[in-house]
Amino acid sequence: MTRVKRGTISLKRRRNVLKETKGFRFGRSAKERQAKEAIRHAGNHAFAHRRKKKNDFRRLWQVQISSAVTPLGLSYSKFIYALKENKIEINRKMLADLAENHTETFEKVVEKVR
């Protein structure tokens, strides 16, 4: 009877796991059990932080708007309140972009609000 060598699937799985953890520190990139655990934790963090990223960007936009509005003599909260009062519906992302890249347009928006 001829010899049958086994384990091609498990070897392939092991290689894929270790390929996924390439660049991780310590045994997490070399040892299969630690690598599997690292992949599981990385997936959990990625899932959670996809949601958290949206909050981070909103905070960034608020800071950018605030820093652009302050020299013009307004605070961030008063500016946002005035926008709502005047029924100007520009979201924070667009306002932050205007403040950073198109200052003249942003100043026109601020003057319209006053």
**Can you give the residue range of the structural domain that contains 49?**
8-113
CATH of the domain at 18: 1.10.1900.20
| Percentage of the chain exceeding pLDDT 90 | 92
* Residue 3, in any domain of the structure: no
Question: Is 2 a member of any domain?
Answer: no
Could you give the CA distance from residue 33 to residue 13 in angstroms, rounded to a whole number? 12
- Identify whether 62 is part of a domain: yes
What would the pLDDT profile of 14-45 be if each residue is shown by its tens digit?
A: 999 999 999 999 999 999 999 999 999 999 99
Please state the separation of Cα 48 from the chain's center in Å. Answer: 11
What is the rounded CA–CA span in Å between residue 47 and residue 41?
10
Q: Is residue 1 part of a domain?
A: no
Q: Which two tokens stand for residue 3?
A: 């010899």
Count up the domains in the chain and report the number: 1
Confidence of residue 114 (pLDDT cuts 50, 70, 90): confident
Tell me the longest C-alpha to C-alpha distance in the chain: 92
Q: Does 26 fall in a domain?
A: yes
Does 90 have pLDDT greater than 90?
yes
Nearest by Cα to 95 from 85, 86, 105, 87: 105
Query: Kindly report the CA angle at 11 between 43 and 6, in degrees rounded to 5?
Result: 145
Nearest to 39 by CA among 62, 22, 21: 21
Residue range 72-82: average pLDDT?
95
